[in-house]
Amino acid sequence: MVKLSVNINKIATLRNARGANEPNILSVAQDIQAFGAHGITVHPRPDERHITYQDVRQLPEVVTTEFNVEGNPNSKFVDLVCSVKPTQVTLVPDAPDAITSSAGWDTVKNRSFLQEVIQEFKRNGIRTSIFLDPDISQVEAALITGTDRIELYTESYAALFPKKPKEAIAPFITAATKAQEIGLGLNAGHDLSLENIRFFAQNMPGLLEVSIGHALVCESLYYGIENVVNQYISKLSNL
């Protein structure tokens, strides 16, 4: 089945709103794994407005599944990831003041930079993934960087899915097929939800992992987080 990695950034946002430690991020990560999730994802940003660097350092104490750390690989981020050594690092080209990720890498223009950063992570035994738009030329160029995987940026799929699901997913199928052909592992994330996840996963060749945060937390307000995690796992099973 496709693995579910739960992004807990929004839970950290709730904690930070009161300036204390409720909800406790470590306890939440433990519970989400106990509910059946296959991994925990975090995306620390320079202003630490949700997940903090200290959270990232502490989470390996409780993450017994896969630990995925996302972010723009500036020197501080690279040092953090290399010290923590998560299962996977996902490189995202977001600006320091970005509200959320809004585009994938240009792997042609940034090839040398990405090669250098990825080599550093690989020297530390960390699996690498590059956040990418569903564009064949970008997928092909990603291979040259030495990355292990790509993560397709799925916002455009989620936006078009309610009205035109086949049109929405078409470029992602093309990109995923190319990734399979050239030997890149495939992840996906951004705005995936209970409404659109099964159709996406059913139609994506070689999909290994999805990272879901904002939608999952919003859905959990109504249905409860254990229930929602299990609904995602059900939709990702027996595809």
Give catalytic residues, as residue numbers: 43, 70, 190
Q: How far is CA 154 from the centre of its chain?
A: 11
| Cβ atoms within 10 Å, residue 9 | 21
The amino acid present at 36, given as its one-letter code, is: G
Contacts of 2 (CB under 8 A, 6+ apart): 201, 207, 208, 209, 210, 236, 239
Rounded distance, CA 80 to CA 162, Å?
39
Instruction: Indicate the burial class of 71 (C-beta count within 10 angstroms; 0-12, 13-18, 19 or more).
Output: buried
